[in-house]
Every structure is written in C-alpha cells, then in structure tokens.
Structure 1
C-alpha cells in the first residue's frame, strides 16, 4: 500500500479555512504560534508517521500484544515510539509552559494526533493515556506528586493509565470496590481493574496508574470515590525504583486494536501496594470526568482517523481494479469492450462518496469541537469562555459518537467496495473494520453518550447550550444564502432545525410529566437524528468555503479540490440528511415505548 492514509490538503483546508485556527492563535495563551509554525509541525508529523508508524501497522496486528511469563509483550516499536513521542512533544504538547509543556492549541494537537492515528491507530494510544493521567496530576495533584511523576511522563520515560473499570463495575462506577486504607501520608490500595489500555508492557521503565478507589468508611455510591496515583514501581529516596505490588495477571485478546495492549491488573496482592491521594477525598469521579471532554474528542478522532485511512485504501483499490463494463445507451453491456475500473460503477461511487462524507465530515466535527475547547480556556472574557464551554459540553457526546458509529458504516462500505477481497487478510480493510468497532465502546458506550446528550446537555442551563448551538447553525445558514447555488441546501437545513424543535417539544412532554424513563428511552435514535443535522451544518460550511474560493479565485488548491467538496455536500444532503424524517417519526410517536419493560412477560 502507498502511504496515502490521509489527505493533508483536506486537513489543512478544514483547519485553516473552514474552522479558522487563526481565531485561536489570536488568543494570548497561544500567541507564540502562527500558521508557519503549525505548518512545519504538521509536515514533520506526517513525515514521522510515514516512517515510524504506517510501516508497522499491519505487522502489529499480525503480532499482537500478549501476556507471557507475567508481563505483556508488545511490538518493539512501542518503546521506540514512546521515546520519540517525548522528544517530539506529542506528550507535552497540551501542557502549559510552567508544567514543562508546549501550550499548543487543541485544534493543532488534534490535527497532529489525527495524522498519527490514521497511519497506525495502535501506537498513539499509549501516548493518549499517558497524557490523560499526567493531566490529572497537574490539575489536581500536589507539588510533590507533580515533581515526582509528571516530568518522566512528559518525556515518555514513564507511561500512564486511567484505571476505572472493575469486573462488577463497568459503566456503573458507583459499584467500585477497590479499597484505599490510610497509612500515614499515603494509602494501601487493594483491588483489581480490568480493560486497562496500555496498562503494562515489556520494556517500560514505569507505569503510573491513576486509580479510582474507595477510602475505608467513605459514603456509598459515586460520592465516596477518590483518585490515587499508584505507580507500578515506587520511586525511592535515592532516585531508584522499587516494586509497588501492582501485578499484571492477564491481558485481553481482542478482535481489533491488537497492537494496543489491554490488561487486567491487581493491586495489593501482597498487601504492599501504596497509593497517593490526588486532591481531596471523595472527589475522584469529579476529577476524572473533568478530563473526559478531551478523552471523548480523542475517541471520535481515532475513529475518524481509521475511517479516513480505510477510505483512502478503498479509493485506491477502486482506481486500480477492473471489473465489469459500463452500460451502453441501450441498457446493455458490450462484452467486446474492455473491462472498466470499478470506480466507474455508480454504486461503487455511492459507497466511496459515503465514506468521504463521513470521514471528512467527522474531521470537521473534531476540529470544531477542539476549537470550542480552546476558546473555552483562552477567550479574553468570562462571558466568552462560558459560551464556548457550553458549546463544548453539548458537542462532546456527538463528537465521540458520530465518528464511532458512522465510522463503522464507512469502513463497512469500504469492505464492500473490495467485494470478496475485502473479507480477506490480504487487504487491510478487514483490519480497519475490526479496529474501529471498539470506538463506540470506549469512554462510555453510544447509549450512555446518547442519554448524556438528551438527558443532560440539551436541558442544561435551561437549554442554553442548545440555544447557542442553534445560533451558530442559523448564522451559517444565513451566510450560505449569499450563494445562489447553496441557497436550496441552506433552506433544507433550516427546515431540519425547525424539525429539531418539534422533536424536542414532543420528547420534553415526558420529562415535564416526570416520566424520565420514557423521555430517555429513544435517546440513541435522538443522537442519530441530532448528529445527522449537525453534519449537514458542517458540510454546508465546508461547501461555502469551497464556493468562496472558486468565486473569489483565492484558491490554495485546485478547482477540482473545491468542486469535490461541494459535490460531497450535495451527496450528503441527498442521501443522508433525509434520514432525519424517519427518525423524527420514531421520536415523535407518543405511544408507549416498546423497549420499556412491563409486568407482562415479553420475549426480546
């Protein structure tokens, strides 16, 4: 395969033009960066990914991480990548200068990570968990914890994890039983955690676990959960390391993401596992979830990256594979003609356009949400920061879910483009399909994200976040009306915005009656409905920027580049946006939800 796993022209068009990263660079926090410095960074990341990530992608799937003789064996590239990630700033990029970081905008960091994940969606995972755990320490840990752990983590010498899940406590974190017993200025930790990504691997000098546990005597439920730093090896006074009674007891063999280890850990098997409290007691879940916006953007980004790489692989195949013949004007095929490339068949083009619409639209969604994240931190006034915080909150469940769910559909269509070959290990599409399946489960399943969107984010602050988002969409509609060619699409989107109000009015009737089970019963269809409309908005914005370039002649890319964006928007509005009509019918059906259990026995 050629190294065509990502289209930098599209990425830069979205970053610079459609979502104007310059708006973020104008904020004081990011004043040291400009377009030229970002351009150099992204080009260097692509060059690095070509050499150090993409060539190992298939090999890491064929030689998966596995448990052997008490430790996790991983591909040698893992340790090499972690060291390089520290040197190149992939780990420290988001951290402030005072914490030893580069203070880069999230928009730029997501662009960098997207390139890497499209090249190889296994290796960046080790960095992502290290970033997340180090961020928790810098935000909520004391000076001693920061001094002891963060520098080694930022340089890639030590890895990091976040340990939430237990065998009996997955999404229901209130059922956590891992215990923490006071022991002087530290705690003795005892319990087990499962599904810990990057939890341990051969060659790692140390792994710093951020562990949710319950202090003896703490309140029941989520109110009694605290957060602890629990390293695999304890730092000693002389600068060395000693074992901390953290045992890797197994790993999980998975259908996909086989190059990214997932471990089962036991803490305190010999009653000698020490942990240090992060922040205040009983605030652990609050601390963990304060970091979840970034984590959920990261999940959506990873799914979008896989969908993008799969799109380029299937597009490459369609441009090389001859099969069948075009229909003649009589509606018949001429067997004397040479075979045509499959990209010339309308149904293949439909599948490829769907992949393009989903993958590029998902990247646009990621950049917009990352922009809201940046502006919620760096805007000059408290009012502006609050505005973008609310926009970030309502977009977060969508940015996690749409690329994950529709990314599956996109990659599945890629397999279909290849026909029987798509099902064979000779080609990479089957690997992408296996890899992307987990993303709808990471950081809260689709059902959980959907309930968060409808039950919390739509209603928060008396619907203020939804109002702000509606203004953003309405402004885009008005701007697009200036182009005669885009006006019909702008009007269609405006009608869908009105339909959203009708749907919410119908659903809110249940909430107002106190029937919250019925209100949330169809949260997942609502997520699909809402996401579909948001993607229509993003594609309209994309097409408008392309049309502006064609009209003004201010083109940094070819005319064909911009025309392809407009064409894909038209495809989306014809084939995807109309699906909201059927979803609205489902959502506004006020009969008893068939998914809610009753006293009468039914067979599911």
Structure 2
C-alpha cells in the first residue's frame, strides 16, 4: 500500500510561495497568526491523518455503517478520530473568537481538509459539522449559538445538512416538509429527508440537523422556505422523534452513513428551532452550500491526490518490458514502468490535475478570506465577486477531472489496479459521488453560465481576466514561458468569443437553448482557469530557479512544476478547440422536441 497520500513540499510551495498565505496576517482578523501557527496546525492535522485515519483506510471501507433496531453504528476508529480532531481545535479553527474559534484563514483550513481527506475520505464527518455550526454562528440567536456551537466544534456533536427529500431532489422549491408554530416559539416539524451524510451514528453524543422546511401558510416555492435546528436529542436528553428510516449502501465513501431520516413520523413530537427570520432559510443555507461546494472540491482533489501518489510509487517500483528502442534486446534488464512514455503521460496528467486543482482551491479560499477580512471596500467586493465566480469551478474541476485522473491511476497498475490488493480501486469508487454532491455538475455549470458570468454586469469575469492578465504579464518576462503566456491569452479570447455568443442566445429569451451545453462551457472555462494556475506556478518556479541554489531537490521540484505546466498546455488546453466548436454550433440536439428521438 502506498506510503504517501499528499506531498508536503507541494503544499508549502502552493501555500507560501504561490498564494502567499502569510500575507493574510496583515489583516486584523488574522493578525494573531503567522507561518509558525499555520505550520503547527498543519502538523497537527498531518499527525491525526497519519495515525488515526490512513491506517484505517481499507478497514473503514470494508466495515461500513449498519442500521439495527433504529440505531446506526460506524467503525470505532471514527470515534477516536472525532475526539482527536475536536481536541485539536481543527473543526472550528476558522471560526470567530467569539464563537470559540481561532480565526484562522480558510486558506489554511482548506489545506487541513485536503490532508485529512487524502488520508481517509471515509471519515468525512467534521466538514459537515463545521458548516452547520457556522450557519448557526452566522444567523442563529445567541441562545442557539450558546447551546450548540461549543459541543459541535469540540467534536462531541455531529452537524448535518438536511435539504433533499424523496420527491424533490435538487429542486428545493418542491420540498414538502412542514413546521407548525407552537406557543413557546418553537415549531412542530414533519417531513422526510434522504441522502443525509453522517445523518445518524454512534460516534458522537448528539446529531444536530440544519433542516429546511415550510412554515404552515408560507408562500410556495423557494420564497417560503425557512431554516431550523433539529437536534436528535433535546437539551434535557429527551428523544426528539428523529427516526433513522433507512441507510443507503453506496458505491464508495462507505464509512460515512447516508441516511433516510423521518422527522415527527413516529410520535408527531419533533421540535425544531427557527434560525434567523421566517422564509429566509434558503438564503441562509446557501452559505453552507457554497462552503460545502468548496469542501467537495477539496475532497475531489484529496482522493485524486491519494490515488496519484499510489500510482506514482507503483510506477517507480514495478519493472516491466524495456524501452521501445530496446524492445528486441531481451538481454537488457527490464525497466520501471515510469520510463514508458504512455505511463509517464498518465502520471503527468494526474500530477497536473492534483496540483492544478489544489492551486485553484487555494486561490478560491484566499478570495474568501479577503472578502471576510479586508478593510478596503473595493478589495472586499472584488474578492467576493471572484469567490462567487470561481466556486462552481472549484467544486467541479477537481471532481470531474479527478475521476479521469483516478481512472488513469487504475490504468497505471494494470490488472492489479482492478483488485482490492491496491487502494486505487477504492479511490475510483470513492470519488464518483463528488460530481453529484452539493449540486451536480450540470447544476454547477448552469450556475456558472446562467448566474455567475452575467453577475454584476459581467464584472466578475472582467476581474478574473485582469488577474489572469497579471500572470500573463509576469510570464512574458521569461523567454521559455512566453509561448505559454501567449497561449493563455489566446485561450482567454476564445472563451470570451464563446461567452458573448451564448449570452446573445440568452438575450433572445431562449433559456433552455442558452444553457443546453452549460456543462461543456464549464469544462472550457475550467481548463482556462487551471491553465492560469499552472502558469502562475511556473512563473514562481522560474523565479526560484534563477536564484542560485545548492539544493538539488529544490531544482528538481521547480523543474517538475515547469514541465507539468508544459504538459497541461500541450495536452489538455487543445481540448478547448473542440469545445469551442460545439458551443458555437447553431444546431441544438439535446433540447426536448415534440417528437422525441431518444428511445
């Protein structure tokens, strides 16, 4: 089994050399921190990952949660992990001091999530808890904050996100869960929710559900949705009539129970506590959903990372055949398969996806931090717009391209990759859910093209073009990076042409046609953005190489960055030409016609 699941040198490079995370400490919110506190927290997460997560990767997968007599049991290692992660302060590390947190940048906590999920994504419990607790911190009353947040960020209580219903799926306007006001200001809740990750288990003392429902008499549609806190047990220990009706047995991520829950189904005695104002629940929930989308992107990058390092280790150790130019020299020794061009291509693709995805996620996280902490109103607004624009891409690319990357990881192992003897078959199963979590790829793509690109009169896309332009200008200073800088400039112009074409269709009012190929637009946009991240990495690597260094490992590391950037531009960027051709095509083949042709 692979010994590595992430590369610390790459984390340090992206965090401190490319994205300059330490610069965030100039803002008052993060002024108590420095590189030393960041590194201490990263080291703590790494120790937990190494000792309490990675060793149980296969065991957690094989011994999945069980529902018996209304109770859900999970692997005992999960309880040890939750205890350690709670005691370390990691769950609430980026919370305000007032809410028991350490006011650490999300840029840093994103790296913590990357390390932990690379070690074992079957222990995906704490991200849900921090998201739910942050929702209470942002919109809940002081009483709700005092009651729930301390036990949630200490790991004693689990948090969940209860949106999906059997009949509604992603169409939240069609939910039927109800809330009936009671004389004491609480609500009697009724409804069912499905696919609730970590929705019930025995590794914590209580489960705190963030639940959307409609107060009786509220408007139909999304405007009538409110948000509630529903604990499994009330504060006096009374059972709150939340029933585990079923557990879904999944393709991957088997350590995390996905529950079908009933609220008020048994005794009609489920009590909920309103968060914020009535009928504003969906607006509140979008905070957790957007945070979760970045978290899912991190999960995708993490699983891809673990698979890549497993494949890389195997390719270095597995001897097979000879160099193509020596194939008839049977007396020549066999070579490690990493020396074969096709295997090298697959490994370069995996490296490009892992390190490009992580760079994109850190870029997005840094915009989140600046939108929260900056005292400059213009910088704050611009960071918020860039965060909004990049969030659907940061969720989608690491997951969609992560699936392709792990497919190549399996391929590197040959037949062994298809067996349980090596971990990549598990990673291949585990990542498949990520393009579905928190809004499918189709929904993220429609969000990008239909909402985020036209947002604020196109200001967000203009700001992104300016940021990419800065990287292009930096790259033009180096002769061996010029062609890639000019290539990225050309790709930006191609994307702009396609965008204007699609927006012209939107202007006709034909929304269905406008968004019919939004997923292809997402891929084209994503390739542009990740190419930017790779050029940004190459610029920094070039700058470092020009400084005399006696450290051969550093030289090799920086040269590998430039080489992988070249791979991305030569192998992945050409795909945009085909995507552009389709997106500019006047013939639409997927919109529903009166005579249906799909049989």
Tell me if structure 2 keeps the 8 A contact 1:3–1:50: no
- What is the rounded CA distance, in whole Å, between the counterparts of 1:190 and 1:144 in structure 2? 23
Q: Which residue is equivalent to 1:404?
A: 399
Matched, 1:544 2:539: yes
Superposition CA RMSD, Å: 1.1
SS in structure 1 at match of 2:433: helix
Structure 2 gaps, min length 5: none
- Note if 1:145 corresponds to 2:144: yes
Question: Is residue 326–residue 333 contact of structure 1 (8 Å, CA) maintained in 2?
Answer: no
Contact 1:3 1:54 in 2 (8 A): no
1:305 to partner: Cα distance: 0.4
Q: Is the 8 A contact 1:251 1:262 kept in 2?
A: yes
Distance 1:516 1:203, change over 3 A: closer
Judged with a 3 Å threshold, the aligned counterparts in structure 2 of structure 1 residues 555 and 17 are, in CA distance, closer, same or farther, namely farther
Q: Report the 3-state secondary structure (helix = DSSP H, G, I; strand = E; otherwise coil) of the residue aligned with 2:432.
A: helix
Aligned ranges for residues 161-176 of structure 1 at < 5 Å? 161-176=160-175
After superposition, the Cα gap between the structure-2 partners of 1:41 and 1:555, relative to the gap in structure 1 and judged at 3 Å, is farther
Matched with 1:352 is: 347
Q: Secondary structure at the match of 1:305?
A: helix
**Counterparts in 2 of 1:277-426, with a 5 A limit?**
277-328=274-325, 332-426=327-421
Give the TM-score of the pair, scaled to structure 1: 0.97
Once the two structures are superposed, residues 47-74 of structure 1 have per-residue CA deviations (whole angstroms, 9 ceiling, x without a partner) of 2211111001111001111212211110
Q: Secondary structure at the match of 1:282?
A: coil
Does the 8 A contact of 2:44 with 2:88 survive in 1?
A: no
Q: How far 1:328 moved relative to its partner? A: 2.5
Partner of 1:583: 579
Q: In structure 2, how many angstroms separate the alpha carbons of the residues matched to 1:487 and 1:37? A: 38
Q: Could you say what secondary structure the match of 1:53 adopts?
A: helix
Q: In 1, Cα distance between the equivalents of 2:207 and 2:549? A: 50
State the match for 1:570 in structure 2.
566
Residues 518-527 or 594-603, more deviating: 594-603
CA contact (8 A) 1:394 1:465 kept: yes
Structure 1 equivalent of residue 447 of structure 2: 452
> 1:399 Cα deviation (Å)?
0.1
Kept in 1, the 8 Å contact 2:354–2:398? The answer is: yes
> Given that residues 2 and 309 in structure 2 are in contact (C-alpha distance below 8 angstroms), is that contact kept between their aligned partners in structure 1?
no
DSSP 3-state at the match of 1:242: coil
Moved over 6 A (4+): none
1:22, distance to aligned residue in structure 2 (A): 2.0
Q: CA deviation at 1:499?
A: 0.6
Q: Find the aligned partners of 2:101 and 2:503 in 1 and give their Cα distance.
A: 45
What is the CA-CA distance between 1:339 and the residue it aligns to? 1.6
1:170 aligned counterpart, secondary structure:
coil
Q: Could you tell me which residue of structure 2 aligns to residue 73 of structure 1?
A: 73
CA apart distance, 1:449: 0.1
- Report the counterpart of residue 511 of structure 2 in structure 1: 516
- What is the CA-CA distance between 1:203 and the residue it aligns to? 4.1
After TM superposition, give the deviation of residue 105 of structure 1 in Å. 0.1
Report the counterpart of residue 600 of structure 1 in structure 2: 595
How far is the alpha carbon of 1:3 from its aligned partner? 2.9
2:249 corresponding residue in structure 1:
253
Q: Structure 2 vs 1, CA of residues 43 and 389 (structure 1 numbering), >3 Å: closer, same or farther?
A: same
Per-residue CA deviation, residues 351-372 of structure 1 (Å, 9 max, x unaligned), is 0000000001000011000000
CA positional deviation for 1:153: 0.9
2:228 paired with 1:232: no
With 512-521 and 392-401 compared, the bigger mean Cα shift is at 512-521
Deviates most, 518-527 or 46-55? 46-55
Q: Distance in 1 between matches of 2:351 and 2:34?
A: 29
Q: Deviations over 1:295-316 (max 9, x none)?
A: 1110000000000010000011
TM-score (structure 2 length as normaliser): 0.98
**Aligned residues of 1:180 and 1:187 also touching (Cα < 8 A):** yes
> Is 1:126 equivalent to 2:125 in the alignment?
yes
Q: Distance in 2 between matches of 1:499 and 1:296?
A: 28
* Alpha-carbon distance between aligned partners in 1 of 2:378 and 2:128, rounded to the nearest angstrom: 32
Aligned length: 596
Given that 2:389 and 2:461 are in contact with CA atoms closer than 8 Å, whether structure 1 keeps it comes out as yes
More deviation in 427-436 or 553-562?
A: 553-562
